[in-house]
Amino acid sequence: MVDTINTLDWLDKNEVNVVIRSMGNLCSRVNGKRNEIWGLVSSVMSSLYSLELENLRIRTEMGRKVFLMNGGRLGRERGTNESIKDFMNKPKSKEILSLLNKGKTVRDIAGRLDVSFNLVVKVRKHHEKNLKQSIPVHT
């Protein structure tokens, strides 16, 4: 609610006219001057929005609780995780690894292969972890 009011105040200070079409084209500025009713209407609408958002959160939470009470389970289904070995053997992971070994940057690889930045980082993380496990440490 505070963000909405702050945004509307900022728009008003910069003399931007805000129009609410669903209320018969209610304008924040009339003939270049601030509409006196605007402040009242905008704060009431912000309050109603906040109340509706809170009600939505409560209804969603209650729906989840009922689902769980009836034996439902939230989250990823069991058995849908792939092994690290399967992940690293995918063609895209192999391409990423090849470019990483050539010294390319994460952003460069993501751009070249049209993959997400996070995917490149994940491949690098698993590769580095695998390297650490395969190198014997002498004490």
Inform me whether the pLDDT recorded for 119 exceeds 90: yes
Helix axes of 106-113 and 91-101: crossing angle, nearest 10 degrees: 140
Tokens linked to 94 = 């192999």
For residue 21, give the DSSP letter.
G
pLDDT, tens only, 14-43: 888 888 887 778 888 878 788 878 878 888
> What domain count does the chain have?
2
- Within this chain, do residues 65 and 99 fall inside the same structural domain, yes or no? no
Q: Does residue 103 lie within any of the structural domains?
A: yes
Considering the domain boundaries, does residue 45 fall inside one? yes
Task: Using DSSP, state whether 20 is helix, strand or coil.
Answer: strand
Q: 118: domain range?
A: 84-134
pTM, 2 dp? 0.46
